[in-house]
Structure 1
Amino acid sequence: MMMNLFSIFDPMCMTLNLSMNWISSLLSILFIPSTFWLISSRMNMMWTKILLNVHNELMPLLKINLNKGSTLIFSSLFIYIIFNNFLGLFPYIFTSSSHLSFTLTLALPLWMSYMMYGWINQTNHMFTHLVPQNTPSILMPFMVLIESVSNLIRSVTLSVRLTANMIAGHLLMVLLSNMSMYLEMHMISILILIQLLLLTLESAVSIIQAYVFMILSTLYSSEVNYVKT
């Protein structure tokens, strides 16, 4: 039995005198399909379809005629996160997306680039965005304060949302696994069925959280990239 439930999220587990856990973040390179084959493989066709669907989802949000190629940034982010989420579902593979050091590394540079670009190039629009339309005059100071705090914590909320959802499911599976040594044989079969259902749910959560991270990042970008018509 584990001494600490959170030990499965400890990146300092040493193997062969090397910290091997973070290597799982680089395993996605092995799954990238080859684009130089004469006939496309099924994996290549699958990823092409996924990228096209993601591209079509992001087109209405990014003003694609003005910022061509912008969807590649967010689709790459989506694929990278979903790979790390799925790899964490396999036994004995470190879940890097369950650490703030991983999620903040993705969210903080994006948020900083949005803020710097917006306040330098779209200063008036950024000030206007702090006060929603039709706000009563008496509430304007409070709305400015609320919107400012909301902008400041966006990187934290993006990273904490992904981390918390990854930790919650894994902790629940660990708790159920630790219960197996105290159960009768007929109850263990029921426990295995519950864990399979929970694993299916975690697979869906891995996809949803990667999608939410990508969509929110895109929405934050579209708020800054304001162009007068």
Structure 2
Amino acid sequence: MDRQTIPTAAPPLFTPAPGVRVVLASASPRRRELLAGWGLPFTVLTAPADEEPRPQAGEPAHAYAARAARNKAASVHALLDADAAQASLVIAADTVVCLGSRILGKPRDAAEALHMLEQLSGHTHTVVSAVALRMPGTWAGPAEECLTDTASVTFAAWPREVLAAYARTGEPDDKAGAYAIQGRGAFLAERLEGAWSTVVGLPLAPLAALLLRRGLLLPAARAVRY
């Protein structure tokens, strides 16, 4: 188990509802940065590194991503003691890259990263990000919710030597589809249809809408007393 509290110095955009403690069930620095951008206090808590579930035969990408996200949320929720579970909103996410019907996972090494990049080069692929939520034990309504969002990314047709140079940077190593659109791999994408945050790994618009609708987040202005 790994636990880390993320401080925030930025003026808050949102604030948790009274009594709600936000737990991000992800070690991804990209997801931490996106959530921290709300100025929201939260704790990062990850379960011991277990093998990620594999796609089942014929399983659609959105169903697989949702299943993997639910698995992460359940694993972290199980680590909480009774008092923490009563107060904690657990947020877990998973992102998959699909080329046609094929799901591209994380490459094992630079050679596999290059192979994935060559497949994506000059083509449009789909990125699906799922978010699974475990609600505080005191919260009314469903104890679990899950959402998915989809974006399409089109790569320019890059020469093999350019893709090989990117693969050698090491950035693709822990990324689904072997690239980071928010990092050095940004040059690969010629066109994006959908939300940038979905491609990075945490679809902010549908997540904010759901949490505001459930009353788990409040606009920060509502917390200011005059």
Answer yes or no: same fold by TM over 0.5.
Answer: no
TM-score by length of 1: 0.29
TM-score computed with the length of structure 2 as normaliser: 0.29
Whose radius of gyration is greater, 1 or 2? Answer: 1
Answer 1 or 2: higher relative contact order, Cα 8 Å, separation at least 6.
1
Give the structure with the higher percent strand.
Answer: 2
